[in-house]
Amino acid sequence: DAPHGTVYVPVYGAMSELPEAYGRGYMAKYDPDSAWWTFNFLNQWVQLRYNLIHAEMATEQSRLENLSMSQQQLIEAQALALGDKEARVAKLEEWANSNANSILDSWKSLTNYLIGKYTNGWVISFEGASKDGAVVAPGYS
């Protein structure tokens, strides 16, 4: 519900369908399969330790948005090369929906990572491939 806590996802006005996750959910009822709740949940988590967590979220947000923009330019050029308007729209819709789902999957993975790393006000760090985390109290270590 905040622009700084979400990823802009390209869609086209001519699209006839969006991925299901982008059209489901209610603000008053948590739904982990809703795109709105996926973005909103992480944004709420970030607010708990904004000074530590936001930078990591913003880095992934920028990566995903930049990737979308670069892919969008390529896919639009490919679509324009198609002679039929319906084929152009279908190509753009297929890419936009695939991209939207990919962004959602990436955001869910980021959420899971950040929940583990920033738990109960602590910063949990993992060294190498070890699953044993070292707890660090920010400002006291």
Distance CA 35, CA 131 (A): 30
Interval 76-133: pLDDT, tens:
999 999 989 999 999 999 999 999 999 999 999 999 999 999 988 788 876 543 344 4
The most distant pair of C-alpha atoms in the chain lies apart, rounded to whole Å, by 64
CA–CA dist 121, 48 (Å, integer): 8
This prediction has a pTM of: 0.86
Tell me which residue has tokens 């006000």.
121
Q: Closest by alpha carbon to 65, among 102, 91, 94?
A: 102
Question: Model confidence over 61-71: pLDDT tens digits?
Answer: 999 999 999 99
